Structure 1
Amino acid sequence: MLTTARASVTMIALLVSFLLLWGFTLGPVAEAAVFFDTRPSLSAKSESQLEPWTNITLTCKAQLVTMDFELLKDGTSQELVHLHSPTIKHQFLLTGDIWGLYRCRSGLSNDGWTELSNLVEVTGPTAPPPPALNVDRESAGILRPGDKATLVCVAPLSGVEFQLRQGEKELPVPRSSSNPDRTYFHLEALAPRDSRPYYTCRYRLWNQQSAWSEDSKPAELIVSNEQLPAPELLAQPASRSPEPGALVRLRCLGPLVGMRFALVREDAGGRRVHRVLSPAGTEATFELRNVSVADSANYSCVYVDPEPPFSGSVPSASVELQVEGPPPRPRLRALWSGAVTPGRDAVLRCEGLVPDVTFELLRVGDTKPLERLHAIHPSADLTLTYVGPQHAGNYSCRYRSWWPNRFESELSDPVQLLVAGH
């Protein structure tokens, strides 16, 4: 059965921007296995490179094979498709008046439907926002020359091409991706020659037919050949079990002047750069403020010469910190003002002060989370999709970790969501 509800208006010449409000997960497999999200993903692409405003195709990709797909625009069904054989995705071609907010859903084996997909907004011309460039967690340590490293470039738009750069120079490095909005650059860590190894990425729409986006914020690889003597790392206070909420200073002492220092955290996830300080004489002090159980780990430090030939040190001996008690309570903020317009998304930012955890959004009084998102940063944007009167109420958030230290925060103070017209 095929039902069509399209306006028969001539195609308007538009540039199309795609605002994809879709969280991504870089969390460990053990955490990902806790729940399974059946919501499909929706992405957009133009078949014409010369006229990107024509032949816009929305691809609805399901998590499970199905024969049923539905496309909705501004909360109203636009096309309902029942196929002859099961598949994992279906493409919808937009015609007529294409302005609007699009979502899709896919059928389930029990004749039901999944929840709605992420939002794709087709609007007028806008400048593409910059991407985000992160060092993959397995590469985020102190690298030796020749080590393999992976940089992940994530764009807020779908169906784009990416470019990795060092300064103004494009790097023709291998890349791979299974997602339309991100790519993974695989490169060999080279000892820097002329400057520190800072990298940025950018993207553009429609393959060479549009301008490049702004560069991402730079990501840095710390490369050390371990040719210089090890520094010494001291904790102040010297206790290995500081009180929760205390300030712990980790002082790295090196034998050479004008070095660049890095603090390294060692836990079940491996050796990862925790913080970097610019040249500071023969020492640097790293501050861990408001410590909690999430800071429990072994710490070491290294230093790197900021001048050619950019030699690096052997790591210091480790300092162990073990903090008892609960992690800091998170804060929840609404990323809108006033009442939310029905059909829009409501985004709430949970700020937890602890990186590399899973954030959860809960309705006050409920025990089952409405949304979950793993984030490598200490905050996450949790989204209520296609807001209606049923979403009005108070919400809180929390965060949790299953490894290397198992903990769960208290709930944040509640935030009230009002729906316009109700």
Structure 2
Amino acid sequence: MSVLLASLLIWGFALSPATMAAIFIETRPTLWMEAESLLEPWANVTLTCRAYTASLGFQLFKDGVAQEPVNVLALEYRFVLGAVTSETRGLYRCRTGMGDRWTGLSQLVEVSGAESLPQPSLSAKPVSWITPHLNTTVVCSGGLQGVTFLLRREGDDEFLEVAEASKDVKATFLVHRAGNYSCSYRTHASGHLSESSATVNIEGLEVPPPPTLSIQNENTAVLLPGTKKDLLCVAPLSGVQFQLWRGDVQMLVSMYSTTPGRVYFSSDTLASGLYTCRYSLYNSDKAWSSDSAPVELLLSDGSLPPPELQAEPSATPKPGALTRLRCRGPRAGLRFALEQKSAWVSRWHGLRSPVGAEALWELLDVSALDSGNYSCVYTDPATHPAGSARSAALELLVEGPPPRPRLQPLWQGEVTPGRDVVLRCVGPVSNLQFELVREGEEAEAVDTAGGDLVLNNVGPQHAGNYRCRYRVGWPSPLVSELSDPVELRVAGS
């Protein structure tokens, strides 16, 4: 890895999604708590912040509020809290860096004090299911170094396993049976147990669950002369091999991958039909997953006369109206497809096999998102890949802004300072770029992959009313109006 690339990664500079998928390295620091004596864990406490690589500065956050940074060249820095009091109890994180170049925040560490021990967390890796050919693991994580972790399965009287983490703050357990699992820890043999973690369900399956198959995020696509759209198969874990099927025939086509756990199948040699994909672990050729939901690929060589496309009742409908798009072919027995193209979307609507010579699509409650140039094609199922050229383009124009999104808080009541909160912005279509806006300020957070917008390390300064909006398209995007507000209340503010 070059020095420049390493520096970009260390300081969290943005790279392209494809590049990041291939070279992502976690650069956030690690924070843990050390007690001078585990017999009296709160008598003398130190928080250690370790950087990914040597850093010029360290900064601690308590209950969402930044403390004074420490300027020192080191791999780690120890923040001495001493005896835990009401002033030092709280939720802590740290970051490393200098000036305006800081890493992301570490995981959260709770300093509770008194007789209580903070609740650990339990997570399943790599997946939350097991099969006859795959065991999984659960990882129990706490913030205090050197404790003993205990794993319990619901319905069992005794702890399943016990693991001493003499120099760590987590323990990994191998899971062989399905069930509901939780974990806890203790500081010494006669000490009290911590509160149990939240429960993690491990499902028992005969075969691995299905992957997802898509063609540019859609479940249908039409390939016309000069176009290329490869099929993407995504498994829920990495370290697998893939197959592509057309009906009950395995397709031996070229494939490529940029990210573990997903593969692209080349469409160069594929014919029209319904396709599915499956996967299996590399060390178990017989343990194939269930098949994905099918996607339909339609090939047209453009040799047949183009159809005619009409909008009813108008090509300039009012927002909220019902609009019908009718595609007319030369005869019955054809397979039709409708394409929408605009600055913000390029997609094929559902395919149609009408009894007569025309296919109908109904656009319900139209908005500006439905605007664009539409065209339709047809193919002759009896003579694949014989199909038509595109119809003449029909411009559908709907005035006004796109529909407002909905903002949902994924918490209840007041938020404890130092916690993360998630607000879910729900839009009318997929592939939107969402923004979270606090009243009176600019965008707080952006999520291009979905609608979950995260506020990390919430403090009193985050209290207020939030709204969300979305953008779609580039370079001149459509921008929605703001959602109704959601109030974020932070305890103690």
Which one is further off, 281-290 or 384-393?
Answer: 384-393
Residue correspondences, number: 337
Q: Verify: 1:228 aligned to 2:304, yes or no.
A: yes
2:452 matched residue in structure 1: 382
1:136 corresponding residue in structure 2: 216
SS at match of 2:303: coil
How far, CA to CA, are the matches of 2:288 and 2:455 in structure 1?
Answer: 30
Instruction: From 369, 382, 399, give the equivalent of 2:470.
Output: 399
Who wins on radius of gyration, i.e. which is larger?
Answer: 2
Shift of 1:251: 0.7
CA gap 1:292/1:114 in 2 versus in 1, 3 angstroms? same
Other-structure match for 1:190: 270
Instruction: Show CA shifts across 1:75-103 (max 9, x none).
Output: x9999355579xxxxxxxxxxxxxxxxxx
Q: 1:223 to 1:288 in 2, by over 3 A?
A: same
CA distance in 1 between counterparts of 2:357 and 2:400 reads 35
Indicate if the aligned counterparts of 2:230 and 2:266 stay in contact, CA closer than 8 A: yes
Separation of aligned partners in 2, 1:394 and 1:181: 39
TM-score normalised to the size of structure 2? 0.55
1:100 aligns with none
What does residue 232 of structure 2 align with?
152
Mapping 1:5-154, distance limit 5 Å = 36=14, 61-62=25-26, 70-71=29-30, 80=50, 83=53, 108=97, 110=99, 112-115=102-105, 121-122=124-125, 123=138, 124=175, 125-126=202-203, 129-136=209-216, 142-144=222-224, 148-154=228-234
Larger CA deviation: 108-117 vs 156-165 = 108-117
Higher relative contact order (CA 8 A, sep 6+): 1
1:208 aligns with 2:284: yes
The offset of 1:182, in angstroms, is 2.6
What is the alpha-carbon distance in structure 2 between the residues aligned to residue 420 and residue 213 of structure 1?
47
SS in 1 for 2:104: coil
Shift in Å at residue 256 of structure 1? 1.3
Q: CA offset at residue 409 of structure 1?
A: 0.5
- Which shows bigger deviation, 291-300 or 343-352? 343-352
Aligned residue identity for 1:70: P
Evaluate the alpha carbon distance shift between residue 242 and residue 174 of structure 1 in structure 2; reply closer, same or farther with a 3 A threshold.
same
Choose 299-308 or 209-218, whichever is displaced more.
209-218
2:483 to 406, 412, 417: 412
In 2: Cα distance, 1:135 partner to 1:287 partner: 23
Q: Give CA-to-partner distance per residue, 1:92-135, whole Å, 9 cap, x none.
A: xxxxxxxxxxxx99854657322469x97433544554332221
For the structure 1 residues 412 and 116, does the alpha-carbon distance in structure 2 shift closer, same or farther, using more than 3 Å as the test? farther
Whether the 8 Å contact between 2:322 and 2:366 is mirrored in structure 1 is: yes
Residue identity over aligned pairs, in percent, reads 46
Please list the CA deviations of residues 286-335 of structure 1 after superposition, one character each: whole Å capped at 9, or x if unmatched: 12222222222111111223345453222211111222211011123456
In the TM superposition, what whole-angstrom CA distance separates every residue of 1:137-165 from its partner, at most 9, and x where no partner exists?
A: 79986314785431122334344443333
- Aligned residue type for 1:131: P
Tell me what 1:90 maps to. Answer: none
**Are 1:180 and 2:260 an aligned pair?**
yes
Q: Residue 279 and residue 154 in structure 1: after superposition, are their counterparts in 2 closer, same or farther (change >3 A)?
A: same
CA distance in 2, matches of 1:338, 1:185: 47
C-alpha change, 1:344 and 1:212, in structure 2 (3 Å) is farther
In the alignment, which residue of structure 2 is the partner of 1:313? 388
* Partner in structure 2 of residue 16 of structure 1: none
What is the distance in 2 between the residues matched to 1:215 and 1:340? 42
String of CA shifts for 1:17-63, please: whole Å, max 9, x gaps. xxxxxxxxxxxxxxxxxx94899x999xxxxxxxxxxxxxxx9714x
- Provide the rounded CA distance (Å) in 2 between the counterparts of 1:214 and 1:290: 37
Q: How far is 1:253 from its partner?
A: 1.2
Provide the C-alpha distance between the structure 1 equivalents of 2:262 and 2:32, rounded to a whole number of angstroms.
26
In 1, Cα distance between the equivalents of 2:292 and 2:48? 36
Root-mean-square deviation (Å): 4.6
Q: What are the within-5 Å matches in structure 2 for residues 345-356 of structure 1?
A: 348-356=423-431
Asked if 1 retains the 8 angstrom alpha-carbon contact of 2:433 and 2:471, the reply is yes
Q: Secondary structure at the match of 1:187?
A: coil
CA change 1:203–1:386 in 2 (3 A) is farther
